[in-house]
Copies of this chain bind each other. A is one copy, B any other.
Amino acid sequence: MLQGKVLIAQGGGPTAVINQSLVGAVLEARRMGAEGVLGAMLGVSGIINEDFVDLAQETDAHLELVANTPCSALGSTRDKPDLAYCQEIFKVLQAHGIGTFFYIGGNDSSDTLRILSEEAVKVNYALRCVHIPKTIDNDLMVNDHTPGFPSAAKFVASSFAGVNLDNRALPGVYVGVVMGRHAGFLTAAGALARHYPDDGPHLIYLPERSFDMDAFTNDVKAVHDKYGRCVIAVSEGIHDADGTPILTKLAADVEKDAHGNVQLSGTGALADLLTNAIKQNTDIKRVRGDTFGYLQRSFLGCVSEVDQREAREVGNRAVQFAATRARNGTVTINRVGDYAVEYRLNDLTDVAAKTKVMDDALIAASGTDVTPAFLDYARPLVGPMPEAHRLRAPSIPKVLGR
């Protein structure tokens, strides 16, 4: 049985399937006859402001339409509650009789929930807290993967499959910058774009390895010498041997969020820095760079079916766990077959404020590619993609010998 009224909020960056989790939790809570099902607008900031909506007043049909719409329908926040913030939250939760709180988010959001649940214990407020995972970064501990990642990976793979063809038609160097601060999973997903042996991305730069500009331009030159072209996938989080992000090396004033993180997205500066370095240090003429930006997490119409289904299920399971287990926790996705998963309730501290990065076994010895193990890992998550085919027509003998 669900304790008190149920409250649901969404935190951190949106994903293509975060509303599947919302709707999965809402429908399950309603089915269980919850005393009330409330939604907090704009994440925890909406709790502080008592900005609640009555999710019992939504039709099933309309909830399904919302579930299929990308990006947090309740709105989100980057706020990171401290003690004072949490005390304000309690006042509001108590006033509204809320006894069960589901927060859909990444490692920052799960840490918010950990602080909140610890504060609840201190002040002896009966609150059941269950974290529902989501993040395109795929960087939550314990989890095999996280909802939102497979759809973003499909977008990134579809992007690189396209620009590889574009680069083959008009040869040169192409740099594509992908989201991911500390974990390179999403950048690595670019490797799923390859169909033929000489397809790009030919080089993949991950935040799990140190980035050196000289090595980079040498790598690019070597690939260009071999294929007459070069497609490169770069994580926005690449950093030097000291851990300093490459992006901050050129930015005079760097924007930071409430969590102290340097703002990496929303600017094309890193791609421009890298393309300029190639132009200056090689004699390659056509060098282009794109930053895939917010499209990676929000593009309308690029969703992995596995992702859609699992995002719905973690919402369902969170409510089932809250009703049947007498403890707080985070729902985790665990791979138990090829391909099959099961969902478990782990401790919040297992994932809160921690970051999973790519295992060495997933990164090639060169440091600029993934291993077949990564492809085996990622393919069932992304699912089938359109295929890119080439002409096979044989050459016609030259008459003029040109």
Contacts and interface: CB of A to CB of B under 8 A. Distances in A.
Contact of A402 (B48, B66, B75, B401): B48
Q: Which label, helix, strand, loop or mixed, suits the secondary structure of the A interface?
A: loop
A270 B61 CA distance: 42
Given A73-B391, A298-B163, A392-B58, A268 B268 contact: yes
Nearest to A67: B389
A14 B165 contact: yes
A166 interface: yes
A295 B290 CA distance: 9
Given A396-B38, A399-B95, A399-B96, A266 B295 contact: no
Contact of A393 (B55, B193, B395): B55
A166 B298 contact: yes
Residue from the set A52, A266, A390 with the largest chain B CB neighbour count within 10 Å? A266
A87 interface: no
A391 B299 contact: no
Interface stretch (A167-175, A310-318, A335-343, A350-358): A167-175
Contacts of A323: none
A95 B288 contact: no
B162 A53 contact: no
A13 B268 contact: no
B389 A65 contact: yes
Contacts of A52: 395-396
A262 interface: no
A14 B400 contact: no
Interface in A272-295: 272, 275, 287-295
B14 A169 contact: yes
A174 B266 CA distance: 8
B266 A62 contact: no
Contacts of A68: 386-387, 389
B50 A399 contact: yes
B267 A289 contact: yes
Contacts of A392: 57-58, 62
Residue from the set A14, A162, A171, A387 with the largest chain B CB neighbour count within 10 Å? A162
A269 interface: yes
Contact of A292 (B96, B269, B271, B295): B295
A300 B388 contact: yes
A394 interface: yes
Contacts of A385: 300-301
B400 A95 contact: yes
Contacts of A399: 50, 92, 95-96
Residue from the set A66, A74, A297 with the largest chain B CB neighbour count within 10 Å? A66
A163 B295 contact: yes
Interface string A36-74: 001100000000111111110110001001101111111
Nearest to A48: B402
A269 B291 CA distance: 11
9 contacts: A14-B165, A53-B394, A69-B390, A76-B170, A162-B294, A162-B295, A166-B298, A266-B275, A301-B385
Q: Which 9 A-B pairs have the closest CB atoms?
A: A268-B268, A266-B288, A290-B293, A162-B298, A71-B165, A53-B393, A65-B389, A72-B169, A166-B298
Given A69-B389, A300-B388, 20 more contacts: A14-B165, A39-B391, A49-B402, A50-B402, A53-B396, A66-B389, A71-B162, A71-B166, A159-B300, A161-B300, A162-B298, A162-B300, A267-B272, A268-B269, A268-B272, A268-B291, A269-B272, A290-B295, A300-B385, A300-B386
